[in-house]
Amino acid sequence: MNGPLYSIEFKGACIRFNDSFSLLDIDWTLEQGEVWAIVGASESGKSALAAALAGAGEISSGTLTGVDSNAVCVSLESQAALIERERLRDDSDITNEVCEGTPVREMLDEVSLDPVLLTQLIDLFRLGPLLERGFRKLSTGETRKVLLTRALSCKPSMLIIDGPFEGLDANTVPLINGVLQQVSHHIPMVLVVNRFDELPEFVTHIALLEKGRLKVTAKTSDQQAMDLLSQLFHLKTSDIKIPAAIAAEAPPTLNNDEPLVRLRDASIRYTDNLVFEHLDWQIEPAQHWQLTGPNGSGKTCLLNLITGDHPQCYSNDVFVCGYQRGNGESIWDIKQHIGYLSSELQWAYRVSISCKNVIISGFYDSIGLYTKATGLQQEVAEKWLQLLGMQNRAGQPFDQCSYGDQRLLLIARAMVKHPHLLILDEPCFGLDDMNRQLVLALIEKICAGSETTIIYVNHHAQDQIAGIEHYLSLDN
């Protein structure tokens, strides 16, 4: 194996920082030959994790081994600290003399352990003309180069760079990139990267952080995982809100004094099988519900009574979105108010159609698209694709999408018209960890950005959605 020898291991580590931020339950191993990049939204704790590698923070539980006090972290914080030091050194207020501040040469000499290496680095970064200049007078990019030179010339046991390309102009990026690649052969290196598209090629592993937890790790050589991670990163970090409804095409308004759904003494029975009986359920507008129950307890049957997909909705006392069922309303009158997703729907969605039209089909509650979409519908669908990080795939056939991407598109389809009721029947069913993260990230966006009432079915305790306060549990 190539690369510098090192090994760092987090085992269930919870690490507290003085700004009361905590990293939680981190399980993570970094080893020889690996160059990691930490990614995550702001506040996700990626800088904290980087700092922990350099020994910062206080371990409150779990263990962290292999951290060397000689590790150096280059970050905006370390940059700010130096600038602050310079500000304090500046006594021109008192002396009334213009103070140039500490010259660059001094800044470098004070930490350098290897004059030969330092000279090489000065050449490499073309710092020669700047050596006599005051540190504070440097541009952002120049400051960055000085910081890197400082970090490298002190022969650190590990180099942690938080935002390696922050503030660098386009010409400087390849230069720094090349240097870091060289260095990565000799010094263990971890980068904190803010944009997925600026991931250097020599990075071998990615760690995605969210709310202080390590959510996903992936090898950069696994293209599929990288695509998903990039999409997930996009969903988690982009500011794009879920696209608004089209006012002119919104479902008819409902009387807010009435419940959205009311089932009275509902039952589903077959000749030789009773699924459930005597079930009462009332859902008021803006009441989010979670529905649980073991396999076969009738969760999907129950939801289908609401959507109208279960034929026994006509032999039950069912009130949905303004309609007492079985009084001459059509199933499309019901469906216009409801967005729906389940794995059954995904299996049923076997038509030749593009990704974009899958989303548009949500305006018509159809599987496939049988009407010419309006310009506005096209626009909204394109915005959804953008949100999903799939804007380049509008025309791609739906059946060529991965299972997880299909699920995302179908959630967008369910939500595109901003229905009064959104039913998500096991939205994470059959998905691997990464795709689950993606789907949950999307659902969170939806919850945050709409007035829609949600019914959510799931099995996994860890797949919680914030904001659900009502629970219905079916048992066998």
Partner 1 sequence: MANYFNSIPLREQLAQLGKCEFMDLSEFTDGVNYLLGKKLVIIGCGAQGLNQGLNLRDSGLDVSYALRETAISEQRQSWKNATENGFKVGTPEELIPAADVVLNLTPDKQHSRVVAATVPLMKQDSCLAYSHGFNIVEEGMQVREDITVIMVAPKCPGTEVREEYKRGFGVPTLIAVHEDNDPRGEGLAIAKAYAAGTGGHKAGVLMSSFIAEVKSDLMGEQTILCGMLQSGSLLCFDKMVEQGVEPGYAAKLVQIGWETITEALKHGGITNMMDRLSNPAKIRAWELSEEMKDILRPLYHKHMDDIMAGDFSSGMMADWDDDDAKLLGWRKETGETAFEKAQNTDQDIPEQEYFDHGILMVAMVKAGVELAYETMTSAGIKAESAYYESLHETPLIANTIARKKLYEMNRIISDTAEYGCYLYNHACLPMLADFMTGIDTDVIGRGMKLDNDGVDNQRLIEANAAIRSHPVETIGETLRGYMSAMKKID
User: Would you count residue 173 as binding partner 1 (CB under 8 A)?
Assistant: no
CB of 274 to partner 1, least distance (A): 12
CA distances, 372 to each of 332, 356, 357, 363 (Å): 18, 13, 10, 11
CB of 225 to partner 1, least distance (A): 27
Residue number, 172 or 315, with CB nearest to partner 1: 315
Sheet holding 317-320, edge to edge: 273-283, 261-270, 317-320, 323-324
Residues in region 251-310 near partner 1 by CB under 8 A: 270-271, 308-309
Tokens of 133: 């200049």
CB of 337 to partner 1, least distance (A): 15
Sheet holding 158-162, edge to edge: 71-74, 158-162, 189-192, 36-40, 205-210, 213-219
Residue number, 100 or 329, with CB nearest to partner 1: 329
CB of 16 to partner 1, least distance (A): 54
The angle formed by the CA atoms of residues 277, 281 and 282, to the nearest 5 degrees, is 160
The owner of tokens 């969210």 is 210
CB of 332 to partner 1, least distance (A): 8
Residues 171 and 188: their CA atoms lie apart, in Å, by 26
Q: Which residue in 157, 230, 292, 312 binds partner 1 (CB under 8 A)?
A: 312
Residue number, 90 or 333, with CB nearest to partner 1: 333
CB of 466 to partner 1, least distance (A): 33
Tokens of 115: 């004059």
CB of 279 to partner 1, least distance (A): 16
User: Would you count residue 311 as binding partner 1 (CB under 8 A)?
Assistant: yes
Residues in region 317-356 near partner 1 by CB under 8 A: 328-333, 348, 351-354
Residue number, 281 or 323, with CB nearest to partner 1: 323
Tokens of 261: 């759904």
Q: How many residues bind partner 1 (CB under 8 A)?
A: 34
| 405 contacts: CB under 8 Å, gap ≥ 6 | 231, 355, 388, 390
User: Would you count residue 370 as binding partner 1 (CB under 8 A)?
Assistant: yes
Ramachandran area for residue 88 (φ above 0: left; ψ -120 to 50: alpha; else beta): alpha
User: Would you count residue 314 as binding partner 1 (CB under 8 A)?
Assistant: yes
User: Would you count residue 462 as binding partner 1 (CB under 8 A)?
Assistant: no
CB of 170 to partner 1, least distance (A): 38
CA distances, 103 to each of 114, 118, 137 (Å): 19, 15, 9
User: Would you count residue 364 as binding partner 1 (CB under 8 A)?
Assistant: yes
Residue number, 161 or 410, with CB nearest to partner 1: 410
Q: Which of 244, 212, 205, 195 is nearest to 47 (CA)?
A: 212
Q: Which of 80, 79, 81, 62 is nearest to 9 (CA)?
A: 62
Q: Which residue in 102, 172, 181, 316 binds partner 1 (CB under 8 A)?
A: 316
Residue number, 156 or 419, with CB nearest to partner 1: 419
Residue number, 187 or 410, with CB nearest to partner 1: 410
Tokens of 460: 């996994």
CB of 328 to partner 1, least distance (A): 5
CA distances, 146 to each of 71, 77, 287, 392 (Å): 18, 15, 56, 39
How many angstroms from the chain centroid is the CA of residue 137?
Answer: 38
CB of 361 to partner 1, least distance (A): 8
Residues in region 371-400 near partner 1 by CB under 8 A: 371-373, 395
User: Would you count residue 406 as binding partner 1 (CB under 8 A)?
Assistant: no
Residue number, 333 or 463, with CB nearest to partner 1: 333
Q: Which residues here bind partner 1, judged by CB under 8 A? A: 270-271, 308-309, 311-316, 328-333, 348, 351-354, 357, 361, 364-373, 395
